[in-house]
Amino acid sequence: MTTSVVHCPALFLTAPASNQGKTTITAALARYFTNQGKVVRVFKTGPDYLDPQILAQASKQPVEQLDIWMAGEDYCQDKLYQAAKVADLILVEGAMGMFDGEPSSADLAARFGLPMAIVMDVKGMAQTAAAVATGLANFRDDVQVAGLIANRCGSERHAELIRDALPASLPLLATLKRDEEITLPERHLGLVQADEVKDELEVRFEAAVEWLKETQDTGLLELPSAVPFSPASQVDAEQTIEQNLLGKTIAIAKDAAFSFIYDANLIALKSLGANLVFFSPLKDQTLPEADALWLPGGYPELHTKALSENSSMRQAIKDFYQTGKGILAECGGMLYSLDDLTDLEDKCYPMVGILSGQGAMRGKRGCQGMQTAVIPQGEIRGHAHHRSRSANTPDPVGYGRRQRHPAPGEAIYQQKGLTASYLHLFFPSNLDVTAKIFLGKGN
């Protein structure tokens, strides 16, 4: 049987390290081509909630994660294929450095034949930037590098020194001047959530488009070469999913305090047959009618007073807990479920109190990394990223299994229908376990 191959221009933006400007440039490119009437589909590698919010607004299209470890090759292949069928351009933003992680950005690009553009902050170097880029481009022979994007380039003379030092096989795609007006706003866990600065982002996106146009090297402003995308070899997953949540309504906390929600997780819940409703622990007084509850991660530490003062919502969640129905509380959602939370100003406020213990922020120190949640219902993959600690919590039912380290990962708690942990779960990695968590089975 022949498979249907779709060709679509694609570019994977990578870097030698974090904080080189990947998200800013990816967002600028997405808006540049969107303004030209192109359909731009953007993907983000690895576990990330904040960058996709920014990139979705820039491209005016949904943004999902691509991660071979979290979701598998077939999942990633299908996402790229489905995007290629509707898009004029696919952009993928990498995580950390080009070869960091297992699998790395380079592994993902090599697996799907995506050409990579190296984004580098060249402030304080010239020919050395060319040397580093050349080393990255030649480090592996299964990775195709389209060229270098020199970010924060001081002048045309600066650009010329870099350009002349690059080999012919590695063109300078763009030289982007230093411009703080297009820098994206940040806070302690990364970029500020898009919904909080929506209007400001629009100004920055349009300024970034003009920023791109000022480059003397215009390779980045042309559509990249088309890449062939084929469907995954696995039979269409939608035909084999058992709708174990059919007819069930899941109430999801979503507001400025709770917003770390993968679009892929929402799609997964719908594929299981669930009906999704949203509510705000900050503003709503009661819960919507529901069969299960999801308290995702976010920034409850920035809204401790308002969350605490909404006593009617806290009581509503307590009452829901007593029914034994399924509740998933992840990271910030887990902090909200504890007895109290001490915020960044060292002020302590009562929280919901369905899980014994205290939460407290701890400045710049934190925990992050990929882990598999090992619980009675089975195993499901996810990640941890937090700068808080919890104390006086119950005995856990299991721990996260770290990707590359033998020490136990995050503790996982279960009682009545509640599953709580610092882990952010990626539902598509195990739909059966996802359904059991929300059904409250095995707790």
The answer for residues whose C-beta is within 8 angstroms of residue 236's C-beta and 6 or more apart is none
Contact 386, 422 (CB under 8 A): yes
Helix, strand or coil, per DSSP, at residue 428: helix
Q: Return the residue matching tokens 């950005």.
A: 105
DSSP state of 288: P
Catalytic residue among 153, 331, 348, 367: 331
What amino acid is encoded at 314 in this protein? R
Angstrom distance (rounded) from CA 38 to CA 59: 9
Which two tokens mark 31? 């808006």
Task: State the burial class of residue 157 (Cβ atoms within 10 Å of its Cβ: 0-12, 13-18, 19+).
Answer: exposed
Least Cα distance to 429 among 368, 369, 374, 385 occurs for 374
Is 348 an annotated catalytic residue? Answer: no
| Helix, strand, coil fractions of the chain, as percent rounded to 5 | 35, 30, 40
CB atoms under 10 Å from CB of 204, counted, come to 24
The answer for residues whose C-beta is within 8 angstroms of residue 218's C-beta and 6 or more apart is 174
CA-based R_g, the chain, Å:
23
Residues annotated as catalytic (active site), given as ranges:
331
